[in-house]
Structure 1
Amino acid sequence: MNALTAALKEELNVEMISLGGLQVPESVVVSWGIMLFLVIVSILLTRNLKVDHISRRQAILELVVTTIDNFFMGLLGEQGRRYVPYLMTVALYIACANLIGVFGIKPPTKDLNVTAALALMSICLIEYSGIHARGGKGFLKSLTAPTPIMTPMNILEIAIRPTSLCMRLFGNVLGAFVIMELIKLVVPVFVPAVFSLYFDLFDGLIQTYVFVFLTSLFMKESIGGEE
């Protein structure tokens, strides 16, 4: 168990990288790399798009984008269309952040600061969507629903949501690491490689889905109001 404790401490430790004399957290540097990667891939995939004579690349790209767009529109409805690009962007980032561990790079989602920032951005958008859809008075009125006595609980819920999103993402990513370390202690050969593939690939995608799904669900509730 001492080996597990040491590995866990090392995993939780946020290393600093020196860039031109400036100390930058490793998770931030890796996030910059992910953003650069996504920008380059986006540019390459969207070059020479045509209305007619659609290439196979464009057809696949349109199918993927349409499928994801329909997924979010099914959750949010027409009122939530303006927020779909943000949700797609967050999904791409979290997916890349979780999958990057396959290449031996420490996922930035293992840094609590990163998951907290993602949760904070999502909760700000959730509350903004409610204010935008119902107006300031409608939003304040929703805090007293269904009865004024519930106002403190409704306000507390606003604070609980980002905490829930943050700890769920961080806890699941860290939990996968703990399970892998335990498996390595019990069965040191072959089996860990199989489970590593599962946690690095499938579990990372599942956590991406859960995060954006809950964000969309909270947003729909905020937009829906008293319907």
Structure 2
Amino acid sequence: MVEFLTAEPILEFDLAGIGLVITQPMLVTTAIVLVSMVVVYFLTRDLKVIPEKKKQVIMETAYNFIYGLVSDNMGEKFMSFVPFIGSIIMFLILVNFIGLIGIQPPTTSFSTTLGLGLTSFVVVQATAIRNGGLGNYIKSYFKPYPFLFPITLLDRLLLPVSLSLRLFGNVVAATTVMSLIYGALHELNFVAQLIIPIPFHMYFDIFDGLIQAVIFTFLTMVQIKIVSDEASGHHE
């Protein structure tokens, strides 16, 4: 478990007197982001009012799915979050699925999942302050009763921890199980090693990876709406 918590550096160097460390999760994450940007750029070129190519149909289907997800769970007031929510779920699906090609998912590093959790935390609090104002945001910690302030504070501060640990724990568990399966098949022939793991990959990499991406995204959406409504005085 320690190796998952602290990724080993693969490159260390000094830049203007500052020591910098590059790890495998950092490289994989950066590569995924850059490749995603290039792919999306080419998929969104030459768009037509009436789709003429399959790539536009695929893009519009994905967009409509994210649009409906935000609309159903957050409401029309939060439709500006469609790009943010779409980026989160797309990124998490890609990093979780990358284990299918033999690369360790970046989400097996707690630093990656904690970074994602902190990003959601900042967006949640910033949205609440923007929609309700700083004064109302502070007052929301004392609602509905002032003596609940410690519980409300703890609940909000634990958001990045709960999000990151849930994602980290599930992905690490799935990765560990797959490693054990391949270890058990080590003595079998090459063909068996290729065929037997397929159903396990279907569950632990594809199904579980997709579920974790959806859960993380859904909890982020819910928290944005709840905390913002509390700060705005609209929470029921």
TM score, norm. by length of structure 1:
0.88
Whether the aligned pair in 1 keeps the contact of 2:4 and 2:110 (CA below 8 Å) is no
Which residue number in structure 2 is paired with residue 57 of structure 1?
55
The corresponding residue for 2:205 is 200
Name whichever of 47-56 and 108-117 sits farther off. Answer: 47-56
Alignment correspondent of 1:148 = 146
1:134 aligned to which of 129, 132, 135: 132
Q: Distance in 1 between matches of 2:61 and 2:77?
A: 23
**Matches of 1:157 and 1:218, distance apart in 2:** 11
Deviates more, 1:172-181 or 1:113-122: 172-181
Counterpart amino acid of residue 206 in structure 1 = I
Amino acid across the alignment from 1:94: L
Counterpart secondary structure, 2:10: strand
Post-superposition offset of 1:127: 1.1
Q: More deviation in 83-92 or 107-116?
A: 83-92
1 CA distance for matches of 2:204 and 2:51? 40
Aligned residues: 220
- On the 8 A contact 1:79/1:223 being kept in 2, the answer is no
Distance across 2 between alignment mates of 1:35 and 1:48:
22
- Offset, 1:80: 1.3
CA contact (8 A) 2:113 2:168 kept: yes
Rounded Cα–Cα distance in structure 2 between residues aligned with 1:103 and 1:137: 50
Structure 2: unaligned runs, 5 residues or longer: 15-19, 187-191
- Give me the whole-angstrom Cα distance separating, in 2, the residues matched to 1:198 and 1:161: 27
Give TM-score, length-normalised by structure 2: 0.84
* 2:41 match: 43
The CA RMSD over aligned residues, in Å, is 2.2
CA distance in structure 1 between the partners assigned to 2:30 and 2:118 by the alignment: 19
Q: Deviations over 1:199-226 (max 9, x none)?
A: 1111111110010001111111112223
1:49 counterpart SS class: coil
User: Structure 1 pair 10/127, CA: closer, same or farther in 2 (3 Å)?
Assistant: closer
Could you tell me which of 8, 31, 52 is aligned with 1:15?
Answer: 8
- In structure 2, the partner of 1:79 is 77
Structure 1 CA distance, aligned partners of 2:54 and 2:179?
Answer: 43
Gaps of 5+ in 1: 1-7
Structure-1 residue corresponding to 2:17: none
The one of 25, 28, 52 equivalent to 1:27 is 25
Which SS does the other structure have where 1:17 is aligned?
Answer: strand
Cα 1:20–1:9 change in 2 (3 A) is closer
Q: Percent identity at matched positions? A: 33
> CA 1:80–1:178 in structure 2 vs 1: closer, same or farther (change >3 Å)?
same
- CA apart distance, 1:177: 2.1
Distance 1:152 1:212 in 2: 26
Cα distance in 2 between the residues matched to 1:178 and 1:60:
34
Structure 1 counterpart of 2:215: 210
Contact 2:66–2:82 (8 Å) recurs in 1: no
Superimposed CA distance per residue, residues 9-45 of structure 1 (whole angstroms, 9 cap, x where no aligned partner):
6555513233888641111111110011101110110
Aligned match of 1:4: none
